[in-house]
Structures are given as C-alpha cells and as structure tokens.
A = this chain, B = another copy of it.
Amino acid sequence: MAGKLYGIGVGPGDPELLTLKAARLIGEADIVAYPMNKAGKSVAFQIASTHIMENCETFGFYVPMSTDRRAANLAYDEAATRLRQYLDAGKKVVCLCEGDAFLYGSFVYIFERLTDEYKIEIIPALPAFVAASAALKIPILTQNEDLQIIPATLDEAILIDKMRTCNNIAIYKIGRHFAKIRQILAKLNLLEKSNLVEYVSQSQQKIIPMAATNEDTRPYFSMIIINRR
C-alpha cells in the first residue's frame, strides 16, 4: 500500500499562524520534506519545527533560485524521486512550503510531478496578503469591492492594464521589480494609497508607505498592498 503525501503551507512567517490541521499532520508525519536554500536554510522548516516529532525523518532539498528554471526543475525531479521511495514504502509524507501550497507555493512543482501516481492532500494555509491587511489595519475587501493579486514579474504595460480599475491590489514577487512597480504606482497616482509590507507577521515586520520609498529601496520578503478606496 502506497503512503500519502500532504502538501502543507505553513503561512506567512509567524509560527502561530499555522492552522491546527497543519500542526497536527506535521506531528503525525513519518517524513517531513522541505525546500531549502544553498546554505541549507529553510524558512518553512523553521516555522514548522516545533511540531516535528523526534522520531520523524526530515529531508531538505536544495532548490536553486534563478530565472532559468532548468536547475530548479532538476532539483524538483530529484526531490520527487526521493519522495516516491518514501511513498512506495507506505510512509506518511509531509512536504512543507511557505505561505499557501497552491498560492505561488513551491509545492506546486512537487504536486505536478506526483499527482498522477499517489494520493496527495493539500492543506490550505494563510496567504501573506491577509496577514498584510491585518498588519496594516486596512480591510483588503469590503462590500462590493474586488481584489487583484498580481506578480510584479509581468511587463509594465500588462501591469498598468490590470491595475487600472480594481479597488484593491496585492503585488507579489517584488524583488528586483521594485523600481518598475514604484514607477507604475506613481504613473497611476497610487503611491499615496500603497504600502510596502516586509517580513509580514514576523518579528522584523516593517510597514513602509510607498510614498516614503524611493527607487533605490531594496525590499526583503515583501509585498505591496494598494487600497484605492
């Protein structure tokens, strides 16, 4: 009998924002797998760590960060190969990921490799933008408003088109696209209605009004929330 794989989002950073279900399943796991960086560090693992039992096997897999997806794809192939071994041995396997597994979550790359072969359950998690809204004390959606969640990676013209009419916007994947996004917000007269939220829900959380930033600002683990109302 093959085992079962759980794709578990651990939320935006505060370990207390894990769901009860995620905490329980992490504690029941035979294996906890997680993506890590070159230095062997994993934010998802850190967030989940207090729930991992001593007799649980852990397995970190290094995923290179690059716009060239080939190296990352190879890393996910290798991780999937190892996960297959655990699953074929009938193990209960948890694969962690930051945020929500299916909202820009790294678990999607494991999911698409194994979904035709094994039982997989996705445990939904709290996405960063709701934590940012709570931190800002500005509702993200009220009454008949709409919200657009967009990646900063898109071309300027597409971003402007998407951002032109919606009430609220959450921009993910800021990184090296910060200057471009800042210019677009200035163009659309939205700087005064936008906030940069760094390390949301974590101890080093920082809220910076976009109007107080400049194009040289280097944001970390951040998103931009725009409330047009």
Contact = CB atoms under 8 A, between A and B. Distances in A.
Interface of A: 11, 14-21, 23-24, 100-105, 108, 111, 115, 120-127, 130-131, 133-134, 137-151, 153-154, 161-162, 165-166, 201
Number of copies of this chain that the complex holds: 2
Given A139-B111, A153-B144, A102 B166 contact: no
A220 B152 CA distance: 36
B16 A24 contact: yes
A97 to B, nearest CB: 12
Contact of A140 (B20, B103, B145, B151): B103
Identify the interface centre among A15, A20, A143, A148: most chain B CB within 10 Å of its CB.
A20
- For the complex of A and B, the 4 pairs showing the least CB-CB separation, nearest first, are A122-B134, A16-B21, A124-B134, A102-B139
